[in-house]
Copies of this chain bind each other. A is one copy, B any other.
Amino acid sequence: MKKGDDTKIKILDKGFELASKLGLECLSIGTLATATDMSKSGLFGHFHSKENLQLNVMEHAGEIFNQDVIAPALKAPAGIPRIRKIMENWIHWTKELSGGCIFVAAAAEYSDRPGLVRDFILEQQKSWIDCLGRIAGSAVRVGDFRADTNCDLFAFELYSLILGFFLYHSSLDYPGAGDLMSQSFERLINSYKP
């Protein structure tokens, strides 16, 4: 890796942290310059515009999500073990971020702001929802889930539980959020078993 790449990754890590905490819209070349102690003109050389900076930060977040949540889960055996691993990694990812999941927050923040940032978020979320559906499909193939499983429905229900957990745990500090999440997750898995 070249030195320039290394510097850019450090900047993107900081941008990712800021956007998670303050919201993507608060991320600008100015706020990032202050946070990284770099000059605005230096950062401008890397990113050229606020929109391009936001896009780069979201792409960077997408790469970390693939690397931390998806890739390790795909090494687990297909079926329920893989679904458990996805869930475990996803919960860990959410807990690590001070402002909750950056994709969910940015999807709400940009729901009425058409442009490249929104396009990227929609594409990333669609691809993640498709991935959850395919993982349910592989559970059907190995016989862990019934043959008539609606994989899109499973993906929706799994994603919903994670959102419930974000709200209860991260936003509300609700006692026993983890326990409610685990019980609901087991009920969901059981409801699709043959």
| Total number of A residues with any Cβ neighbor in B under 8 Å | 40
Report the minimal beta-carbon distance from A26 to chain B, rounded to whole angstroms: 10
Task: Using known A-B contacts A108-B99, A112-B98, determine if residue A157 contacts B171 with beta carbons closer than 8 Å.
Answer: no
Q: Does A31 contact B (CB under 8 A)?
A: no
B111, A170: Cβ atoms closer than 8 Å: yes
Interface of A: prevailing SS: helix
| Nearest opposing residue in chain B for A190, CB measure | B191
Q: Does A172 contact B (CB under 8 A)?
A: yes
| Nearest opposing residue in chain B for A177, CB measure | B156
Task: Using known A-B contacts A108-B99, A150-B183, A153-B184, determine if residue A167 contacts B159 with beta carbons closer than 8 Å.
Answer: yes
Return the contact of A163 from the options B99, B126, B164, B187 (Cβ within 8 A): B164
CA distance in complex: A39, B135 (Å) = 57
Taken residue by residue from 126 to 168, chain A's Cβ proximity to chain B (1 for < 8 Å, 0 otherwise) reads as 1001000000000000000000001011001101110111111
Q: Determine the chain B residues whose CB is within 8 A of the CB of A122 once the complex forms.
A: 172-173
Return the contact of A170 from the options B98, B108, B159, B163 (Cβ within 8 A): B108
| Nearest opposing residue in chain B for A168, CB measure | B156
CA distance in complex: A80, B153 (Å) = 22
Taken residue by residue from 107 to 134, chain A's Cβ proximity to chain B (1 for < 8 Å, 0 otherwise) reads as 1100110000000001001100100000
16 contacts between A and B (CB under 8 A): A23-B23, A99-B112, A107-B171, A107-B172, A108-B166, A108-B171, A111-B170, A126-B172, A126-B174, A153-B184, A156-B184, A157-B164, A157-B187, A159-B164, A160-B161, A187-B191
Residue numbers of A with Cβ under 8 A of B are 23, 98-100, 104-105, 107-108, 111-112, 122, 125-126, 129, 150, 152-153, 156-157, 159-161, 163-168, 170-174, 176, 180-181, 183-184, 187, 191
Enumerate the 7 nearest inter-chain pairs by beta-carbon distance, A residue then B residue, closest first.
A160-B164, A163-B163, A107-B171, A160-B160, A156-B180, A111-B171, A108-B171
